[in-house]
Structure 1
Amino acid sequence: MKLKCIGWLLLCCTALSWGQTADEVRQMMWGPGDKHQKATTFPEKWNNESAVILYKNEVYDYHKFGTNVTYTRSIRKRIKLLDAAAVKEFSEFSYSTKFYSNKAMGSFWRRGSNFIGVRIIKPDGKTLDIDADKEAKEVNNEKKLAIPNLEIGDIIDFYFYSVEPFKSVYDYTFEAVETPLGDVYPTVDLKITLRTENDFFVNFNTYNGAPDLKEIPTGKSNDRLYELTASDLAKNEFPRWFYPLNELPCYKFQVIFARSGKFERLSDGFLSEKESIIKKTVAKEDIFNYYNEKFYPEGDMGPINKFLKDKTFASDEEKIRAVYYFCRHEFFTRYFEGFAVNDANIMYPWGLYSNVIFFRNEVPFVNYFMQFLKRQEISFDIIIATPRYNGSIDDLLIQENVRKLIRVNTKTPVYLEYFNPYTGADQISYTIENSKAYVLEIVKGKRVTDASTVTLPSSTYKDNLSKIKTQVSLVDFNGYKVTRDAAYYGHLKESEQEDKLRFYDFVYEDYEKYGTPKLMELVRNNRQRTQYTKELESLILKMKEKQKENFEANVEGEYDVKVDDYAFSLKNTGRFGKDNPLEVNETFTINANYVKKAGDKYLLELGRFLTSQIEIDKKEIERKNNIYMGFPRSFENEIIFTIPEGYSVSGLDKLNKKVENETGGFTSTAEVQGNQLVIKTLKYYKNYYEPNSNWNKMIQFLDAAYQFTQEKVLLKKN
C-alpha cells in the first residue's frame, strides 16, 4: 500500500508541534487515550467484503507563532482484513520519512518530518508492533516497509503523521482537499478534525448527503476546533467514466493564511468576512468582487503591433486567432528551448533573451488580451468556469478550481484560454465544455461591471475524431508488415499531442513561422555557440531515441504483441486550429501471433488491428453510478489487407456489424476490392453524460467493438 503525502490527514484529538519524537507520536496514536484500541467488530452485512475499516481518523492542524507557521496532518486507519486480496494490499507500505517544504523561507526552516506507525492485532488479541525505522528499506528515495506474517482475520492499525513548518510573513494558500467521504472499503466510524486559529480562513462544505462540519467549543477565543463524524459508510466504487465528486457524499475544504486585511485582499481564495466564520458557498457577488480586482488591461502592445504591421485579415475572428497563435509563441513557446538547455545544464540561457515576458498563469494572460482587445475596440467578456468533474459552478468553493478565459464577442464568438503548446483559439478545454459558467461583463474594455451566467459551447462526436488507416501485408505467411497513418482532431488531438510531441517539434516550427531567431543564434561567442549547439543536438538525439522507444512500447501495448523494425514520423503537429489535425505515420512488423496455420489454410486475426477495445467484465455489468464522459468522440478505422496472389479470403460476414442507439454505436463493413480486403469501422460516443439506465445500451456497442477484435478471416488458395 502506498501512502501519499497529499491525501494524508488523520489522527486522534490533538496535533503535535514540530520537534515531537516518534515515541511521543506513538503515544498520541495508541496511548491510553485511544478510544478505538479495542475496536474489532463490524456489521454482519459486510462479512463478504474484502476488508472493513473499523476506524478512520483524519486531522488537519494549522497554527502560527510569530512568523512561524506549522501545518500538521495525519491519518490513522484500523482495518480488518477479510480475504487474501486485502492481505496482499496491506503487506507493504511505501512512504517518505523526511521532506523539504516548498513553502519555506530559508534553509533551516525547510525541514519537515513524517512518522509512521504500524501494528498488527491477531484474532487472539496478540499485538505485534512493526519497527518501521528498523525494518523499512530505502528504495529510490522512498522507504518500503514489508509487513510479515499478515493473515486473513488480522487487524492492521496504522498511522501516518506529517509536520511541515515554514515561515510566512504575509499570506499563504494551503493545498485544497476534495475527496469522497467513504473509502474503497466500508467504514464503521469516521472522524475528521480541523484545528485553526486567528489569521487562518477556512472554506469548508459537504455535498451529496455528507454530514455537516460542526464547531466544537474550545474555551479560547483564538483557537477553533471543527469535527465531521460519520458511521456505517458503505464502500465507494470507482468505475470507468465516473466523476466521484458529482455523486458521492464528499467534502471540500481549503485553508488560507492571511495576517492582515491587506493580505486578505491579496490572498488566492474566496475568504469569509472573518476567520471565525466558515465559508460554505461562493455567490455571484463573491466572484464579482474577487475578480474585479484581479483583471485589468495591462501589457506592452509593441510585439503585437509589430506582428500586425502590413497584415490584413478577412474578419476580426481571423485577426484574433492569428494574434493568439503569435502570442502563444512570443510569450510562451519561444522559451522552451531555454528551459531544455537549462535543465540539461548545457548553459544558462536567460541572459540571452531581451525583454523576457513569460505568461506563467491565467491572470497575466487575461490582462494582456484585455489590453489588446480594448485597443482594437472589440467587445469581450471574461468567463469563469470550473471543470465538470468538480461539480457545478453553483457549488464552487475553491478558487484554484476556477478556469479563466476570454470570450471575444465577434460574429462567431472566439474563446481564448491560457496557453499550453497546443491550445487553439477555437476550442475551449473539454473539462469546462457544456457547463454552466459565470460571465464577467466588461465595459469599455477595462472594468468588470457585472456577473451573469451562461452555458458554455459543446462539441460533437464528429468534432473529436480519431481517423486511422492501417495497411497490412503478410510477410512469409508468418507475420505482418504494417503501415499506420493516424490523424487526430478536436479534443482527441490534445492527449495525442502531449504524448507524441516534444519541444523540438513545436519550438522550431514556431521559429520558422514567426521568423524568431533560435536560441543558439543569440550566443555571440563563436566557440561557445559551437559547443552549446553540439550539446543541444546531442540532447535532442537522445530525446528522439527515447521517444522512439516509448512509441514502440505504446504500439506493443495496443496490439499486445512484440513489434520489430519500428519507425515513426510526424507529418503535422496540428497546433493551429481544431480542424488542423495531428498527423503521424508509423511502420513496423509483428510476428506470427496474428497468423495461425490450419492445414493448407491460414487464420488471420485481422480484427485485432482495430487494437484493444473495452471488454466489459462481470463486475462492470451491474453498474450503480451514472456515466460521465470527458467529451463526445468518434473513432474511424480503415484496415486494408493485401491478399497474396493466388489466394482468397472468406468469413467476412462476422466482420459486418451494426449496433447503434442514443448513447453511441459501432458499425463495421468488410469487402474485397481487387486484391485488397477493405475493412471499415466506426465507433462513437454521443454524449457527455448518460444516466445509469443507459448503461446496458452502451454495453451493446462496446461488446460489438470488442467482439470485432476477436473475429478471424480464412485465407486459402484458389
Structure 2
Amino acid sequence: MTKNILCIAIFALCSITSIAQSKKETEKQEQVKNLVWNENDPYRNVMEISENWKNESAVFLVKTVKYIYNRPGNSIEYTKIERERIKLLDQAAVTEYSEFAYTEGKVFYREMSRVTNTFHLGVKVIKPDGEEIEIDVNQESVTTNNEKKIAIPSLEKGDIIDYYFYTNTIVGENDLYQYEPVENTIGDNYPIAKFEFLLETEDDFFINFSTYNGAPKLQQIVEPTKKDKKRVYSFTAENVERNDFPRWFFPLVELPSYKFQVLFARSGKYEKKAYAFIPEDVNTVKTNVSKEEIFNLYEDKFRPYGELGDVERFLKNKNFATNEEKVKEVFYYIRHAYYTNYVEAFVMDEANIMYPFMLYGKNPIIFNNEVDFVRFFTAFLKDNKIDYEIIVGTQRYNGDIKDLLLESNINFILKVNTEKPVYIEFFDAYATPNQLSPLLENTNAYTLKVVDRKHIENIETVKLPTTTYKENNSTEKTELTFAPDFSGIDINRSFEYNGQTKIDEQKSILMYYDYVYEDHAKYETEPILDRVKNKRDQEKYKNEYAALLKKLKNNQQEKIKERTAGEYNLKIDNYSFKIIKNGRFGKEDSFEYTENFTIGNDLIKTAGKNYILDIGKLLVSQVDLSNKEKNRTNNIYMSYPRSFNYQIVVNIPDGYSVSGLENLAGNVENETGGFKSSAALDGNRLVVKIQKFYKNNYEPNAKWPQMVAFLEAASQFTQAKILLKKV
C-alpha cells in the first residue's frame, strides 16, 4: 500500500513538473512570437510585389535577420531571429514551402561551461483575401531521428508564408568566448523586396564586421549611454534580384554579402589572450585586417618549439642527396609518428573496444592544430640550418587576402627554402609536400620573413604557385565483355589519379586500414594490438577488432558500389574493388584502384540478328547543362585546372563486326578547355579514347559559351551508339 501511494505521489509530482514546464515553454513561445508578430510590425500588411517580378517563382516581401549579444549576470547570451515573408507564385514554390524541418534546443557542456540552446519556429499562412492561418507548430510537428517536421496544409499559389526561426544560446560563466563567424550573401534564390540586418551588443563584446561587393555599409543606429550600454547597428537593402547560385560559383566573391564575428572578453587581460583580430575598443567596429596586424598577431605565435628526439633517431645514419629530399622524408615521418600512428587508437576508443592511449606512454604527441605543427616542423628546420618562411593565405572563395577580416579564414603554409622550394600545409593522412589546397593556388598571400630561422622580422605580399590541367589528371579505363547470349555485360574498370584530382578521391575511397599498416611497416612501429602485452586481453581485443574491421570493409565496399551504380544509374551485381596504390608519398605518386562488376542488358538493344550498344553511357558523370544554365550570367570559379582521360575497350564477340565508329569521333578545343574522342579497331577489340580538360580554375562569363561548346560535346557523346552486326 505504501509503495502504491509513493508511486502515485511521484506520478503527481512529475505531472505537476511537466505542466509547469509546458506552461513555461508556452509563455516563452508567446514572448518570442510577440517579438516578431506584434501590432508595431511594419511588415504585417505588406502583400504586393513589384510588377517586374510577376513571373518569378516566389518573392520575399521582407527578409530580416537580427543578432543579439548580451550578458545576463555572469553568463553571456546569443540570440538570432530570422524572419521571412514570402509570396508563392507557382506550384514549385508551393511544394518547396509545404514542409519545415528543425531540431530542438538542448543543454550540454562545452569548455567547462553550461550551454543552453533554445529553438522556436513560428509559421502562418496569409491568404490573398487577408485571412491569416497560424500553424500550431507543437501540435502539427512529427519527430523523426531527432528532427521535427511540420507539414503546411492547403497551400496555394498566391499565398504568403510568414515564418521565423528563433535561436537562443546561453553560455555559463565565461571570461573569454569567441562566437562562430557569420558569412552570408544578401541575395537568395528568389528576389527580395526588402532585406534588413540588425546587430545588437553591449559592453565587452568586440565586433569585426564588413560588407562586400556593393552591399550597404553597416550603420550605428543606437549609441550607448551611461545607463544603457546597448549598441545597435543596421543596414538595409531593397529590390535585391535573385541569383541562381549555379555550379562553379563563389557567391562571397561576387555577390553583395557581409561577414562578421563577435568576441566576448570580460576585461583587458582577456582581450590580450584573444587569438583573433579584434578592434582596439568595444565602440569601434573593425572592418578590415591590415598586413601589419597580421604581422603583429603572428610575430610571436610561431617560435620554433618541439621535442625532436624521435626525429633525430629517425635521421640517424641516414644520408640525403639534398635538403629538399631530407625535408620531404622528415615530413612523411612526422605525418606517421604524430598522426597515423594513433589512428587505430581513435578507432578502438570510438568503438568502445578499449581505452588505448595509455599504450603510447605518458603525454604522446598528437598534432591537431596548425600552430603546433608549424612550431614543431620549424624546430626541425632550425636545428638542421634550413631556411624557411611562413605564408598566411586564404582560400579563393573567401575573396582576396587584402579583404581579410576573420582569423578563421586563414591557412598557414610553410615555404622551405631548399634547392627547390618545398611548400608544406598542415597535414592529414594524405598530405604530401608541394600539394597545396587547390583553393590556395594562384592566390595573393602574405609571407612572414624569418631571420636566423627563429625571428619573424618582416611581412611581404607573394603569389602562391599554381598547377596545370596536365598535372591534375585522371585516367579511367573501362573494359566490356558480353555474356554469350548478350544477357549482360562484365565490366572491369581501373582508375589512376594524379595531382589535385587524387585528394578528394583518396578521402572518398580510402579507409585508415588502407594505409596505416603500410606506415607501420615503413617506419617499424607497432600496430595497436601488438602493444597489448596481456595475452588474454590481446586475444579479446583482436576478436572484437576483427569483427569491426569486417564491418568497416563491408561498408566501404557497399559505399563504393553504390557510388558506381549511381554513376551508371543502373543496378550492378558481383561487385568487387581493390586498392592498387594509395598515392600518399609524393605529389607525383598516383592513387590507383580497380573494380569489377556485372550489369544486365540495359545498355543493349536487339535489332534483328544484331545488337545496339549504348556505348556513350559508359562515359559517366558528364555535365548536362539545362537551358537555364546555358544562359549563365555569373563568372566561373572552379577548384583547379584538370584533365580526364578515358579509355573504353569493347571485346567484340566472335561472329560480329562493329559499325558506327564515326559516331565516336569528335574534337572541340578552345582557350577554356576541350573534348576529344576517337575510336579504332585493334583485332577483336574496339578501343575508344577520350580526353576532356579544363585549362583554368577561373573563366570570366564572356568565355562561358566556349565552355558550353566542349561541355555539350561531352554530353552529346553520352548518346552515342554502335552496332554489333552479325557477320
Q: What's the TM-score, normalizing by structure 1?
A: 0.96
User: What corresponds to 1:59 in structure 2?
Assistant: 66
What is the rounded CA distance, in whole Å, between the counterparts of 1:291 and 1:18 in structure 2?
Answer: 47
Amino acid at match of 1:87: V
What is the rounded CA distance, in whole Å, between the counterparts of 1:268 and 1:620 in structure 2?
Answer: 43
- 1:107-122 matches, within 5 Å, as 109-122=114-127
CA contact (8 A) 1:483 1:588 kept: yes
**Which of 494, 498, 516 matches 1:489?**
498
CA contact (8 A) 2:322 2:419 kept: no
Q: 1:563 to 1:230 in 2, by over 3 A?
A: same
Alpha-carbon deviation of 1:532?
0.7
**Which of 353, 366, 370 matches 1:362?**
370
User: What corresponds to 1:257 in structure 2?
Assistant: 264
Q: 1:270 to 1:219 in 2, by over 3 A?
A: closer
What is the rounded CA distance, in whole Å, between the counterparts of 2:461 and 2:421 in structure 1?
Answer: 16
User: What corresponds to 1:675 in structure 2?
Assistant: 684
Is 1:375 the counterpart of 2:371? The answer is no
What is the rounded CA distance, in whole Å, between the counterparts of 1:86 and 1:105 in structure 2?
Answer: 45
Amino acid at match of 1:442: V
- 1:18-417 matches, within 5 Å, as 21-100=28-107, 103=110, 105-106=112-113, 109-220=114-225, 222-354=229-361, 355-417=363-425
User: What corresponds to 1:691 in structure 2?
Assistant: 700
Alpha-carbon deviation of 1:218?
3.8
- 1:515-530 matches, within 5 Å, as 515-530=524-539
What is the rounded CA distance, in whole Å, between the counterparts of 2:210 and 2:588 in structure 1?
Answer: 42
Amino acid at match of 2:496: A
Cα offsets for 1:490-539 (capped at 9, x unmatched): 11100100110111112112111111101111112111111111111111
Alpha-carbon deviation of 1:591?
0.8
Alpha-carbon deviation of 1:608?
1.6
Alpha-carbon deviation of 1:65?
3.5
User: What corresponds to 2:481 in structure 1?
Assistant: 473
SS of the residue corresponding to residue 439 of structure 2 reads coil
SS of the residue corresponding to residue 431 of structure 1 reads helix
CA contact (8 A) 1:18 1:164 kept: no
SS of the residue corresponding to residue 490 of structure 1 reads coil
CA contact (8 A) 2:615 2:718 kept: yes
Alpha-carbon deviation of 1:20?
6.9
CA contact (8 A) 1:173 1:268 kept: no
Alpha-carbon deviation of 1:151?
0.9
SS of the residue corresponding to residue 365 of structure 2 reads coil
User: What corresponds to 1:8 in structure 2?
Assistant: none
Alpha-carbon deviation of 1:116?
0.8
What is the rounded CA distance, in whole Å, between the counterparts of 2:308 and 2:160 in structure 1?
Answer: 66
What is the rounded CA distance, in whole Å, between the counterparts of 1:51 and 1:216 in structure 2?
Answer: 32
What is the rounded CA distance, in whole Å, between the counterparts of 1:585 and 1:168 in structure 2?
Answer: 55
Alpha-carbon deviation of 1:293?
2.5
Alpha-carbon deviation of 1:460?
0.4
Alpha-carbon deviation of 1:261?
2.6
CA contact (8 A) 1:208 1:248 kept: yes
Amino acid at match of 1:159: Y
CA contact (8 A) 1:615 1:706 kept: yes
CA contact (8 A) 1:385 1:393 kept: yes
Identity fraction in percent: 46
Cα offsets for 1:212-265 (capped at 9, x unmatched): 000012452532110011111111221111111111011111111122233222
Structure 2 unaligned runs (5+)?
1-23
Is 1:613 the counterpart of 2:622? The answer is yes
Amino acid at match of 1:49: E
Q: 1:253 to 1:103 in 2, by over 3 A?
A: farther
Alpha-carbon deviation of 1:688?
1.1
SS of the residue corresponding to residue 161 of structure 1 reads strand
What is the rounded CA distance, in whole Å, between the counterparts of 1:620 and 1:629 in structure 2?
Answer: 16
SS of the residue corresponding to residue 67 of structure 1 reads coil
What is the rounded CA distance, in whole Å, between the counterparts of 1:518 and 1:18 in structure 2?
Answer: 53
SS of the residue corresponding to residue 322 of structure 1 reads helix
Alpha-carbon deviation of 1:97?
2.1
Alpha-carbon deviation of 1:350?
1.4
Alpha-carbon deviation of 1:268?
2.9
SS of the residue corresponding to residue 619 of structure 1 reads helix
Alpha-carbon deviation of 1:653?
0.7
Alpha-carbon deviation of 1:19?
11
Is 1:713 the counterpart of 2:718? The answer is no
Q: 1:662 to 1:101 in 2, by over 3 A?
A: farther
SS of the residue corresponding to residue 448 of structure 1 reads strand
SS of the residue corresponding to residue 35 of structure 1 reads coil
Amino acid at match of 2:386: I
CA contact (8 A) 1:18 1:70 kept: no
Alpha-carbon deviation of 1:84?
0.6
SS of the residue corresponding to residue 537 of structure 1 reads helix
The answer to which of 411-420 and 164-173 deviates more is 164-173
**Which of 457, 462, 472 matches 2:465?**
457
What is the rounded CA distance, in whole Å, between the counterparts of 2:413 and 2:189 in structure 1?
Answer: 36
Amino acid at match of 2:602: N
Amino acid at match of 1:654: N
What is the rounded CA distance, in whole Å, between the counterparts of 1:269 and 1:190 in structure 2?
Answer: 30
Alpha-carbon deviation of 1:426?
2.1
Q: How many residues align?
A: 700
Amino acid at match of 1:205: S
CA contact (8 A) 2:76 2:174 kept: no
Q: 1:168 to 1:452 in 2, by over 3 A?
A: farther
What is the rounded CA distance, in whole Å, between the counterparts of 1:483 and 1:401 in structure 2?
Answer: 43
Q: 1:62 to 1:593 in 2, by over 3 A?
A: same
Alpha-carbon deviation of 1:427?
1.3
What is the rounded CA distance, in whole Å, between the counterparts of 2:27 and 2:566 in structure 1?
Answer: 48
What is the rounded CA distance, in whole Å, between the counterparts of 1:264 and 1:657 in structure 2?
Answer: 64
CA contact (8 A) 1:104 1:167 kept: no
What is the rounded CA distance, in whole Å, between the counterparts of 1:46 and 1:96 in structure 2?
Answer: 34
What is the rounded CA distance, in whole Å, between the counterparts of 2:345 and 2:378 in structure 1?
Answer: 28
What is the rounded CA distance, in whole Å, between the counterparts of 2:26 and 2:451 in structure 1?
Answer: 55
What is the rounded CA distance, in whole Å, between the counterparts of 1:526 and 1:19 in structure 2?
Answer: 59
What is the rounded CA distance, in whole Å, between the counterparts of 1:654 and 1:583 in structure 2?
Answer: 31
What is the rounded CA distance, in whole Å, between the counterparts of 1:45 and 1:541 in structure 2?
Answer: 61
Alpha-carbon deviation of 1:102?
6.1
Alpha-carbon deviation of 1:168?
4.2
Alpha-carbon deviation of 1:100?
3.6
Amino acid at match of 1:256: L
Q: 1:694 to 1:430 in 2, by over 3 A?
A: same
Amino acid at match of 1:393: I
The answer to which of 419-428 and 63-72 deviates more is 63-72
CA contact (8 A) 1:104 1:110 kept: no
What is the rounded CA distance, in whole Å, between the counterparts of 1:626 and 1:112 in structure 2?
Answer: 40
SS of the residue corresponding to residue 429 of structure 2 reads coil
Alpha-carbon deviation of 1:411?
1.8
Alpha-carbon deviation of 1:295?
1.1
Q: 1:658 to 1:453 in 2, by over 3 A?
A: same
SS of the residue corresponding to residue 593 of structure 1 reads coil
Cα offsets for 1:309-356 (capped at 9, x unmatched): 111111111110000011011111111101111111111111111241
SS of the residue corresponding to residue 145 of structure 1 reads strand
SS of the residue corresponding to residue 31 of structure 2 reads helix
Cα offsets for 1:648-698 (capped at 9, x unmatched): 101101101100000000111100011111110000000011010111100
What is the rounded CA distance, in whole Å, between the counterparts of 1:152 and 1:169 in structure 2?
Answer: 49
Structure 1 unaligned runs (5+)?
1-16
**Which of 556, 563, 570 matches 2:572?**
563
Amino acid at match of 1:430: P
What is the rounded CA distance, in whole Å, between the counterparts of 1:389 and 1:481 in structure 2?
Answer: 43
